[in-house]
Structure 1
């Protein structure tokens, strides 16, 4: 039987939570103990206390090490949230005390990187002592990091197939797409190139069953063309650009803002072909019960400002 909340509060200490996070991170009790500077017997004692306090076994010993079971994953996730909130508390106090500095962790999908990096530049011009962590990934993985409390907020999407209840989401911008190629691609010298003429060329595409991939496949389907066969699959803009450098016949789909940056550096060229984007708006997404730090609000204000919009903290409460 799981004890009452007051019982858990009275028995669990921060060292307990620090240990279970370390166990999940390192996979062995020995390494976890070393990471938090206690002996292995001390770690064993703490783990027993944790499981007695919760009233459930939290970890299983396997051939690959000690791993959390379902209850253990739940407890570890909330332990991370607590430590993340404590970290934010300290950074905010430091910022208040020093009038500058602090720390912010932000997640971002590939298509929003140009927008985020402009805003971070603007913010660091005002607060040069600020430490910023950027986590680039797909929306699903960024939402997982939000769940774990590892990032303050993310520029990503919450799709209709996901549980949107744990999140607040401010819609920010659309993400138009572009077809790109090596600057020496033979079709760049042709006028009025159609999508049908591109179908037989080699492609590098975003991974299957993602909105960016579905957008180009939708355009092909509308024209009665076969879906592109045997593409190279990559979710990395850098990998895509490098592949285009090696193969002058290769084509790719990138978010327009990302593509225009590389075009400005003369690394790739845009083909004048429009693609209907099937992707929902990029949003600023945070955990519903999480209060953003003043620095996070300033960064969001910079994001809005670069889009010609005005940001108000109360926007979150209107959702």
Structure 2
């Protein structure tokens, strides 16, 4: 009889239980079947492996040697089996976050098809939130938008590429006296009230607008409302509550118009940021190519 792994397990069960009856129960065999199996195993060795007595069974000297090797063989077999059952390691999952805009939208559509890593996408309401998550490695990469000169300093280990600059537009009610103009002089809006999004540690909208208005010769008046959703901001603008700003690539809503400011005093920076320790760092050229394509196709150029 050729010894198989199941025969070695029977020997180990008998040695551990010290009884054929208890070993049979542990392996869910009948006692006659267990006795028959042991006789066949001992016959293959040509000598007894256990001494029988009224108190149970104990290994013979030959049995102790066989059981020692059987134990090593079973442990090795179980280890090999665990490797076989363990799924082969694949590419590490990655998370890409960012601000709403054409670059993040483009990545969600095209990146999974060209990247071997499983990708999860997360949209953040604020640039500062995404930059903070990059710094602590909660995410691997981010498409961000801030205002030139009023952004944040990247956290240690974060690499930032400026993909391009896009003029910031002003959103006015469709019936505004200046709505028919192609370009609007910021000084002509000195008497307006401005609606801004909530404070963003990664993009100082308030400071940027104050700076631009100071250069135009006035101090802006701000609404107490701080709304992050552009649709709601447009509704408020349409109702005459105030004016607001948006990326040049933003889509106009009903009841409002979007107009460039003369001289483009406010410029949005479209950024790609990655952490140096991210698995995506080796795919940086790929990501740069995708976001540059999106910027070229959908973003307004200064000038």
Structure 2 unaligned residues grouped into runs of 5+: 1-85, 298-303
Q: 1:304: how far off?
A: 2.7
Q: 1:290: how far off?
A: 2.1
- Residue 158 of structure 2 corresponds to residue 141 of structure 1: no
1:227 is aligned to 220
Q: Give the Cα separation in 2 of the matches to 1:272 and 1:228.
A: 20
- Equivalent positions of 1:235-274 (< 5 A) are 235-245=228-238, 247-248=239-240, 250-258=242-250, 262-263=251-252, 266=254, 268-274=256-262
Q: Give the Cα separation in 1 of the matches to 2:108 and 2:233.
A: 25
1:116 is aligned to 104
Q: Which has the higher helix share?
A: 1
1:107 is aligned to 97
For 2:223, what is the secondary structure of its paired residue?
coil
TM-score (norm 1): 0.51
In the superposition, relative to structure 1, how do residues 304 and 91 fare at CA in structure 2: closer, same or farther (>3 Å)? Answer: farther
Q: 1:302: how far off?
A: 1.8
Q: 1:180: how far off?
A: 0.8
Count the aligned residue pairs: 205
1:292 is aligned to 280
Q: 1:124: how far off?
A: 5.6
| Higher deviation after alignment, 145-154 or 234-243 | 234-243
TM-score (norm 2): 0.54
1:276 is aligned to 265
Q: Give the Cα separation in 2 of the matches to 1:308 and 1:267.
A: 28
Q: Give the Cα separation in 1 of the matches to 2:184 and 2:267.
A: 22
Contact 2:173/2:179 (<8 A) preserved: no
Determine which structure has more spread, i.e. the larger CA radius of gyration: 2
In the superposition, relative to structure 1, how do residues 288 and 267 fare at CA in structure 2: closer, same or farther (>3 Å)? Answer: farther
2:209 is aligned to 216
Taking only aligned residues, the RMSD between alpha carbons, in angstroms, comes to: 3.9
Q: Give the Cα separation in 1 of the matches to 2:159 and 2:183.
A: 44
- Summarize deviations over 1:157-215 as a string: whole Å, max 9, x none: 79786364321222212232010123333432578754333222232123468443333
Q: Give the Cα separation in 2 of the matches to 1:195 and 1:134.
A: 35
Q: Give the Cα separation in 2 of the matches to 1:184 and 1:194.
A: 17
